[in-house]
Every structure is written in C-alpha cells, then in structure tokens.
Chains A and B, each alone.
Chain A
Amino acid sequence: MKMTHRTGGRSAAAQAIFALALLFGLAAAPHAAMAADETAAQTAADDGGDANDPLEPMNRYFFELNRFFDTILLKPVATWYDGVVPEPGRNGVRNFLDNLRSPVILVNDLLQGEWDRAGTTASRFGINTTVGVLGLFDPAADWGMPQHSEDFGQTLGTYDVAEGAYLYLPVLGPAPPRDLTGFVVDIFFDPLTYIYWDKSKTVPTTRFVLNGIDQRARSLDTLDQIERTSVDYYATVRNLYRQIRKNEIANGNRDFNDLPDIENLNFDTNEPDSPQLGF
C-alpha cells in the first residue's frame, strides 16, 4: 500500500531523490570523464557514498564504546524488560511513547507540506489520547490510520539537504550533521521539553531512557543476527542507517530509477561474452 499510497500531490519522494542525486551524484560525476567502456562498470562500482566517513577512526571508537555499554548495560536491561514485561504491557509502553511524540511528528508533517499525513497524526493523537486511554492503546491504527514517524532530519532531507559526513556519537549512535541538527531542533518542537517535574530534565530524560530500552528490546534478535553475519559490523550499521534514512525520507515510496547501472557490470568487460548491445 505504501508504494501507491501517495503518488499524487507534492512528492516528498521526488525531493528525496533529488537529495540523493546530490549525495551520490557528486561521487559519480568524475566518472563521466572516463573512457566509454569503463563508465558503466565504474558507475555501478562506486561505493554509493559509503566512503563519506572522514572521521571513521573516531566513529569506530565511539561505536565500540557504545557496544561496550550495550553489552554491560543496555542489552541486559532490554533482555530483562523483554522477558519480564508481557507483550501487551510492552505494546502499551510503545504506544504511549509514540503518542507522546505526536506533536513533533505533526510539526514535521506540516513543514514537509504533507497535509494528509498531518491530518492523520492529529487525528491519531486525538483518538489515542481519549479512546486509547492516554495513548496506551492504538485504536486509530485499527481505524485505518497507522502510525508513521517524522523528524526534522527527514524534513531537511525532503528539502534536499544532504546527510553530510557520517558521524557516530556516544549514546546517540549514528548522527550525521543533518540528522544531528534534526535531533536538536526536534527537542525544541517537543512540548515535553518544557514540562517541569521535580527538575526540568526529568520528563524528557525518562522518556529518552525508556524509549532506548524499548527500542533495544525490540531489536534483540535482529541486531544479534546482523552482528553475527557481517564481515564488518560498523560498516553494516553505517550502510543500513543510510538506507533506512533514505527510505524514511521517501516515506516508503521506492524509486527504481536511481539504481546503479549494472547491465555491463562484469569482472572483465573485455570478455568476449560481455554484452555490447544497446545503443
């Protein structure tokens, strides 16, 4: 459904594609000058912007640091949470946290000109806060208004702002400049930021920690599998992050025209059986 859902109207996908063209286009541009028989193979052979990681040694250091804290703290807590709290309870927590985020999602829907999705977010917030008992349940999803997320990093993405060099930070994880900016701006969009409990940071901090535990609990198996089946866990996470963000910015609409040219990709383009057809 996602694929055909929003083909009309101002297309966030088109903008995201343009942003990607910027990202990848810069990397691909020099290849145009290459010998004709090299061009096709090289276009497919560039690494899709993966090299854009000038701070890689520092990033890897923080990555390992986070893995260490994950091993001794976050993962055990998440495993405990996953084992002790029954699934309906965990879903209630997830729904509650998602509902709390609605204002931020709404602002970003609006900033992206996504009026339909903004309407959905507003309706969801109204329904789930009342019928859904302060957001613990998600009746709106059953009534044809499924949850979606937005953040200011994605909003910038729809306005063609490139992700920038990869950055991996302690605690936060992947946070390239565009998305780090988005993270900070979203804090200002968030009403929770301005709620004063016993201290000014109590509410947002509790939410941040709870959210982290819930997210980690939901990805226990997935992350284990990815770690065990990767020749370079850091590089896998970096690539998955970029692909996931790209997909999120396009709101799940996939474009198949920006795929690399693989038709003449071969280990040895001089082989007699290499395809020389076409123009």
Chain B
Amino acid sequence: MVTTLTVHRTRRMVAPLALCLALIAGAVQAAASTGDVAKAFVEEVSTRAIGIISDKSTTKAEREAQFGKLLDEKADMDRIAAFALGQYLRTPTPEQKAEYLGLVRTFIVKVYVTRLSDYNDEKLDVLGAKEKGDKQAIVQSEIKFTNGREPVTVDWWLIKNDGDFKIFDVNVVGIWLAQEQRSTFTSVIRNNGGDFNALLGHLRAQIDKAEAGEVPGANASN
C-alpha cells in the first residue's frame, strides 16, 4: 500500500529505478503494473462518472444514456446480473433471462444516476490497489468533500474480462452494492414462491416509477 502510494506520487523519479528492478525481478514489475493498470482504470471511470453526474446542462435522460454507455463499456454487467440472482441463478428460462438482462441494466442505470447525484463536482482520490488472484483487483479510493463532510471510502472490485478490467462491485463506506442488489432480488423471488416473473414485474414497476418521475433525478436541494 505504502509503496504503491509513493510510486503514484513520485512516479517520474521512481520510473528508472522500477525499470532496473524489472530487469532483476520480472515478477515484481508485473505485479506493480497490474496495480497501476487497475488504478488508472478506476481514475478514468470515476472521472467520467462524476463528469456525467455533475453535468446539469444535460437532461436526466441524457445523463442516463451516457451512464449506461459507461456501464456497458466498463462494468461486467452479465456477471453482476448473474450474481444478483444468488441461488436463483438457474431459475430463469432463456426468454426470462434475456428480459432480465435488459431490465437490470436499465434499473441499475436509473438507481445509480439517482443515488450518485449527491456526489456531483466531487473528486475521487485513488489510494492504492491490491491484486486478488490473477484476474481480480481491489482498488481503494476516497471521495473528499469540499464542505468539510467526512470523506467517503470507496473500494472498487475489478475483474479481468478478455484481458481488460471491468467493474464487478463497488463498496461505499463498507457496503457492497451488488450484494445489496442480490439480497433484494433473491428476496422478491423467494417471497413469490420462486417465481422469476415476480422479479421481472418488480423491476418493470420500479423502472416505470422512475420514468414517471417518482425518483428524484438530481437531488432537488442540490
């Protein structure tokens, strides 16, 4: 952690040294670069996301469209959708699965454009990265507020898909968001006797409610 932080701040100075080290121990160099790739990925995604959320010249629909594009590009949506079904992963028929994938994407876009509206114009500082196996990484970061509010810690769980990092889950002040989605999705299915259509219905209803403006687009007081 400490080393990666230092490398980040004084990269210019350390680069030649890193090169020497790389020649001596290839493995060390490879490890460091994976962490750097993960950190750069998070920096890019968070900058774009904050930019989309903060741009109040766009309509809510435009923000949602841009946010959706960002998710398609940078999040492992199929894996997230599969994870959110928990024990009911194999319940849907192919048709239900197709509809579910579409609905869950729309739902996540609408939910997070709303929930993230608090964080407009804030800056996210990447603190460090940890590798988790060959294909996964955890990037730790922090949102600092200009108004003296306590900083919010954000951890990004990344997984490589076809060689590129994608977001699998995000932890905000200790809460994993995909785990929260999974608990509600499985609860709906369980409480309807294992009927997958119940979940589809709930998702449709929630999206319709959002369309009808019941979900505040950008927090009115901000």
Contact = CB atoms under 8 A, between A and B. Distances in A.
A6 to B, nearest CB: 14
Contacts of A235: 183-184, 186-188
Interface in A37-84: 41, 44-48, 50-51, 56
B176 A47 contact: no
Contacts of A248: 174
Interface stretch (A111-119, A177-185, A196-204, A256-264): A256-264
A230 B135 CA distance: 31
B82 A266 contact: yes
Interface stretch (B17-25, B49-57, B213-221): B213-221
Interface stretch (A94-102, A122-130, A149-157, A221-229): A221-229
B206 interface: yes
Given A50-B186, A240-B175, A221 B221 contact: yes
A224 B220 CA distance: 12
A236 B174 contact: no
B-side interface size class: 35 or more
A254 B87 contact: no
A225 B111 CA distance: 9
Interface residues of A, number: 41
A243 B180 contact: yes
A45 B179 CA distance: 11
Contact of A256 (B89, B130, B173, B215): B130
B170 interface: no
Interface SS of chain B: helix, strand, loop or mixed?
A: helix
Interface in B197-222: 199, 202-203, 206, 209-210, 214-216, 219, 221
Given A229-B114, A267-B89, A50 B187 contact: yes
Interface string B86-110: 1101000000010000000001001
Given A229-B110, A238-B187, 20 more contacts: A2-B153, A47-B183, A56-B191, A221-B118, A225-B216, A229-B206, A229-B210, A231-B107, A231-B184, A231-B203, A235-B186, A240-B175, A243-B179, A243-B180, A248-B174, A252-B174, A254-B171, A256-B138, A256-B155, A267-B97
Interface of B: 1, 78-79, 81-83, 85-87, 89, 97, 107, 110-111, 114-115, 118, 127, 130, 132-133, 135-136, 138, 140, 153, 155, 157, 159, 168, 171, 173-176, 179-180, 182-188, 190-191, 199, 202-203, 206, 209-210, 214-216, 219, 221
